[in-house]
Amino acid sequence: MTEHHHSETKKNKVHHSTMLLGIIVAVVFLIAIFSYQLQSTNYAVISTLGHVQQEKNPGLHFRWPYPIQKIYRFDNRLRCFEGNIGKLEETLTADRHNIIIGIYVVYKVEDPVILFQRERNIEHAEENLNSLMRSAKNEIVGKYKFSDFVNTGSKNKLDMIEKDIYKLLARVVLEKYGLKVTDVGIKSLGIPEKVTGKVIERMKNERNAKSEAIRQEGLKIARKIRDEADKERKEKLAIANANAKIIRSEGDAQAASYYSIFKEEPELAIFLKKLDALKRIVEHKTTLVIDTKTAPFDLLQAGAERLESNKDDNKKRNSKK
Amino acid sequence: MNNFESRNVKLETTALNPGLNALLKLVHYLFVLLSFGIIIMVLWYFSLGGAFTVEEQERVLIMNFGELSETVYTPGWHWNWPAPISEIVRIPVSRKTLISNAFWYWDSSALSGDKKNKSLSEKLVPGRDGYLFTGDTNIIHVGFGIFYHISDPYKYYTKCVSPEDPRLDDFEYLNENNDNLGTRGPQTQLKALLENAVIKATSKETVDDVLAPSYRKNIENAIKLAVGQADLGITVDEVWYNKTRTPPLGAVQAFLDVFDANNFKYSRIEEAKSYAVKTINQAESESVRISADAQAYKTEVVANIKADVDYFKAMLKEYKKNPDIVLVSRYSEVLGEVLDKATNKFIIRNNQSGHQELRLKLNPEPPEKKKIRKNQ
């Protein structure tokens, strides 16, 4: 009897653990069927037998199992879309210039229900967005001159052009496709092939003219520097010569103050000066022509062997005779 | 009867299917094993199952039931609920590189491998050749590269669409017909921002500004501003030339001529400056010499006159004692000195009639020079 009771208890234990395991599996299974997770980076569109509603809050949500409810997820983060249609298309500016302009659009899903109902998915929406981008771009480019696209400083209106395209696109895209455009930018800016040739030719001509202008400017500046240096040189030398003249005149004035001493015997002074001058004048390779009247060559004359006083005495004697 | 029947059944069971007993035993053991496995799994789930490590080059974000937590997990060992409760997202934060050659020309030599003979095309083909317009309507080619890093992983992951594993490059976007619609992701957006900033910044500058060294810094500032305004959780560290700036190949020589002209200009200016320094220095030294000469003249003149005065005084003293002797002797001495120095001396006899003719050939050509010339 006791043995039988023990075996019954053992069987019950086995059943309890089996049941617990079954319950766990069932709970996990039910959670998997009746719930879904929505990530922070996604919005969801829940379709309940054809009736759609959106879910934007992330987390664990209740759902009816498929096929009663279908869940469609849309990434709610920014996407950068360049669009291929019309990327290399020529567009006419207000002043009749052809330009080739490519733009990009940054957008995100704002109203997933509109997107789902109108386009079903992002791919279809982007195809239509591409067409809208093309027409908006053409419309806005036609309002601006070529110089608004390419110009130095504040005359450049690229920012304004981008804003205008953005304004034209943003409202329509949100209403039609539930997409919010956050930014529009120009990604390429060009001109037709045949015009590039002319631009390159003009660039070459401009550069050649510039080269010549730079060379001439260099020569001009160099000439100016040289002229100024020459002028400064002349000024410096003129000042130096003027100062020198003053110093020399000071010397001459000082020297003149000594001349009064010569007044004591002017003839002697003049005689000595003459001798001094003669010594200085006659240097080597000088040819001197002197007659015999000049002392001491008067010694070469007849009677030079007698002194002047004896000559006078002889003259006196001869006269007495 | 009951005891009899039950005993019979027991005997029948034992006797009928000993294999069934063994099977029941096996099932029992398997159940125990399964229970044990489930216990192990539960234990693992609540302990090591949620453990994860964050590497140095990455940060981790956690999504609990899909809801992203703003907590950014830094390098090290961490624990969180494992999937499906939580999910971890690894964001790379190491430095990345992005290259844009959208403004570079198509290089035919790249295909032929002949780098020396690049085609000097006089025209640029849209869609094939990339270029930039400067504010003065010139065309410039340039390639840019940027170094960037993810500075705010939460913003980076939530702001811009990214691959499921953000460590991977942007994904190719295909439509239902498997047509490639381009890439989507943060790199695509960053590249668009870069190219847009470059186009706008360049279209406001002249070609000379673009060729100046400051251009790279201007572009870097423009890109940093654009990326900062986009607020993608990305910080641009540095912008560099992936391909250096160049005008269209057909106009390169003309641009090089401008550089030559500039070299010519500055060379001439430097020469002139050198001449100016030399000339002014010479003038200054000449001025000093002139001044010194004048000073020397002054000193000399005064010294000479003083010497003359002294000499005069000495001579006067003697002259007063015996004038004729002094004069004649002095005169003779000087004349002697003078004649001694003179090369040619002609002493002519004094003609009594007063008329005399003398013919001299003055300054004859030196005979030495004649010889030298003949030899030459």
SS (H, E, C) chain B: CHHHHHHHHHHHHHHHCHHHHHHHHHHHHHHHHHHHHHHHHHHHHHCHHHEEEECCCEEEEEEECCEECCCCECCEEEECCCCCCEEEEEEECCCEEEEECCCCCCCHHHHHCCCCCCCCCCCCCCCCCCCEECCCCCEEEEEEEEEEEECCHHHHHHHECCCCCCCCCCEEEECCCCCEEEEECHHHHHHHHHHHHHHHHHCCCCHHHHHCCHHHHHHHHHHHHHHHHHCCCEEEEEEEEEEEEECCHHHHHHHHHHHHHHHHHHHHHHHHHHHHHHHHHHHHHHHHHHHHHHHHHHHHHHHHHHHHHHHHHHHHHHHHHCHHHHHHHHHHHHHHHHHHHCCEEEEECCCCCCCCCCCCCCCCCCHHHHHHHHHC
Are residue A108 and residue A52 in the same domain, yes or no? no
For A193, the closest of B125, B138, B276 (CB atoms) is B125
Are residue A285 and residue A303 in the same domain, yes or no? yes
A251/B102 Cβ within 8 A: no
Number of other CB atoms surrounding residue B45 within 10 Å: 14
For residue A62, is it within any domain?
yes
pLDDT digits (tens, 9 = 90+) for A109-165: 999 999 999 888 888 898 899 999 999 999 999 999 999 999 987 888 999 999 999
Question: What integer pLDDT is reported at residue B15 of this predicted model?
Answer: 52
Where does the pLDDT of residue A32 fall: very low under 50, low under 70, confident under 90, or very high at 90 and above?
confident
Question: What integer pLDDT is reported at residue B95 of this predicted model?
Answer: 94
Half-sphere exposure of A252 (CA within 13 A, CB side): 7
pLDDT digits (tens, 9 = 90+) for A75-89: 999 999 988 776 788
- Which residues in chain A are closer than 8 Å to B25, comparing Cβ atoms? none
Are residue A64 and residue A107 in the same domain, yes or no? no
Question: What integer pLDDT is reported at residue B16 of this predicted model?
Answer: 55
**Minimum CA–CA partner of B311 in chain A:** A272
Strands B132-133 and B139-150 come out as: antiparallel
Counting beta carbons within 10 angstroms of the beta carbon of residue B1, is it exposed (0 to 12), middle (13 to 18) or buried (19 or more)?
A: exposed
For residue A205, is it within any domain?
no
- Which residues in chain B are closer than 8 Å to A262, comparing Cβ atoms? 309, 312
Give SS3 for A101: strand
Q: Tell me: pLDDT of A6 over 60.
A: no
Question: What integer pLDDT is reported at residue B152 of this predicted model?
Answer: 95
Max alpha carbon distance in chain B (Å)?
A: 212
Are residue A308 and residue A276 in the same domain, yes or no? yes
Cβ within 8 Å of residue A51, ≥6 positions away: none
Are residue A149 and residue A93 in the same domain, yes or no? yes
Cβ within 8 Å of residue B341, ≥6 positions away: A282, A283, A284, A286
For residue A288, is it within any domain?
yes
For B276, the closest of A60, A229, A252 (CB atoms) is A229
pLDDT digits (tens, 9 = 90+) for A33-92: 999 999 999 999 999 988 999 999 999 999 999 889 999 999 999 999 988 776 788 999
- Phi, psi at residue B303, to the nearest 5°? -65, -40
> Which of A159, A174, A191 marks a domain boundary?
A191
Question: What integer pLDDT is reported at residue B230 of this predicted model?
Answer: 94
In A65-104, the residues whose Cβ lies within 8 Å of chain B are 75, 77-82, 84, 87-88, 100, 104
Task: Read off the CATH number of the domain in which A96 is found.
Answer: 3.30.479.30
A39/B66 Cβ within 8 A: yes
Cβ within 8 Å of residue B105, ≥6 positions away: B121, B124, B129, B130, B131, B141, B248, B249
In B57-116, the residues whose Cβ lies within 8 Å of chain A are 63, 65-68, 84, 102
Produce one character per residue of B128-167: b if its CB has 16 or more CB atoms within 10 Å, e if not: ebbbbbbbbbbbbbbbbbbebebebbbebbbbbbbeeebe
B182/A186 Cβ within 8 A: no
pLDDT digits (tens, 9 = 90+) for A150-179: 998 788 899 999 999 999 999 999 999 999
Q: How far apart are CA A190 and CA B129, in angstroms?
A: 10
Q: Which two tokens stand for residue B137?
A: 């309507």
In A161-180, the residues whose Cβ lies within 8 Å of chain B are none
Give the number of beta-carbon pairs within 8 Å between A and B: 377
Q: How far apart are CA A138 and CA A185, in angstroms?
A: 14
B137/A158 Cβ within 8 A: no
pLDDT digits (tens, 9 = 90+) for B364-374: 666 555 454 54
Give SS3 for A192: coil
B34/A204 Cβ within 8 A: no
- Phi, psi at residue B220, to the nearest 5°? -60, -45
B272/A225 Cβ within 8 A: yes
pLDDT digits (tens, 9 = 90+) for B318-369: 999 988 888 888 888 888 888 888 877 788 776 666 666 677 666 666 655 5
Q: Tell me: pLDDT of A255 over 70.
A: yes
Q: How far apart are CA A18 and CA B252, in angstroms?
A: 85
Are the beta carbons of B201 and B218 closer than 8 angstroms? yes
Which helix (H) or strand (E) element contains residue A279? helix A266-281
Is the CB of B131 inside 8 Å of chain A's CB atoms? yes
Are the beta carbons of A189 and B133 closer than 8 angstroms? yes
Q: Which residues of chain B have pLDDT under 50?
A: 1-6, 9, 11, 370, 372, 374-376
In A3-32, the residues whose Cβ lies within 8 Å of chain B are 14, 17-18, 21, 24
Range of the domain at A294: 265-312
A193/B258 Cβ within 8 A: no
Cβ within 8 Å of residue B360, ≥6 positions away: A287, A289, B346
Which helix (H) or strand (E) element contains residue A74? strand A69-75
Is the CB of A227 inside 8 Å of chain B's CB atoms? no
Q: Which amino acid is at B142?
A: V
> Which of A75, A93, A111 marks a domain boundary?
A75
Are residue A122 and residue A170 in the same domain, yes or no? yes
For residue A98, is it within any domain?
yes
Cβ within 8 Å of residue A242, ≥6 positions away: none
A40: nearest Cα among B161, B151, B165, B188? B161
Q: How far off is chain A from B154, nearest CA to CA, in Å?
A: 11
> Which of A191, A226, A255 marks a domain boundary?
A191
For residue A175, is it within any domain?
yes
Query: What is the residue-wise DSSP string for A47-68?
Result: EETTEEEEE-S-EEEE-PPTTT
In B241-260, the residues whose Cβ lies within 8 Å of chain A are 247-248, 250-251, 254-255, 257-258, 260
A255/B302 Cβ within 8 A: yes
Q: Which two tokens stand for residue A316?
A: 């006196």
Are residue A46 and residue A119 in the same domain, yes or no? no
Are residue A86 and residue A111 in the same domain, yes or no? yes
Are residue A102 and residue A144 in the same domain, yes or no? yes
B66/A38 Cβ within 8 A: yes
Q: Tell me: pLDDT of A11 over 80.
A: no
B248: nearest Cα among B98, B134, B145? B134
Q: How far apart are CA B323 and CA B318, in angstroms?
A: 7
For residue A140, is it within any domain?
yes
Cβ within 8 Å of residue B182, ≥6 positions away: A81, A82, A84, B172, B173, B188
- The side-by-side arrangement of strands in the sheet containing A51-55 is A51-55, A42-48, A69-75
- Which residues in chain A are closer than 8 Å to B84, comparing Cβ atoms? 37
Is the CB of A293 inside 8 Å of chain B's CB atoms? yes
Are residue A84 and residue A65 in the same domain, yes or no? no
Is the CB of B307 inside 8 Å of chain A's CB atoms? no
Are the beta carbons of B70 and B154 closer than 8 angstroms? yes
Give SS3 for A108: strand
Is the CB of B130 inside 8 Å of chain A's CB atoms? yes
For residue A216, is it within any domain?
no
A60/B272 Cβ within 8 A: no
For A78, the closest of B65, B160, B206 (CB atoms) is B160
Are residue A64 and residue A93 in the same domain, yes or no? no
Which helix (H) or strand (E) element contains residue A278? helix A266-281
Are residue A58 and residue A115 in the same domain, yes or no? no
Give SS3 for A237: helix
Is the CB of A117 inside 8 Å of chain B's CB atoms? no
A194/B196 Cβ within 8 A: no
For residue A286, is it within any domain?
yes
For chain A, what is the domain count?
A: 3
Is the CB of A232 inside 8 Å of chain B's CB atoms? yes
Produce one character per residue of A288-304: b if its CB has 16 or more CB atoms within 10 Å, e if not: beebbeeeebeeeeeee
pLDDT digits (tens, 9 = 90+) for B145-193: 999 999 999 999 999 998 888 888 888 877 777 777 788 899 999 999 9
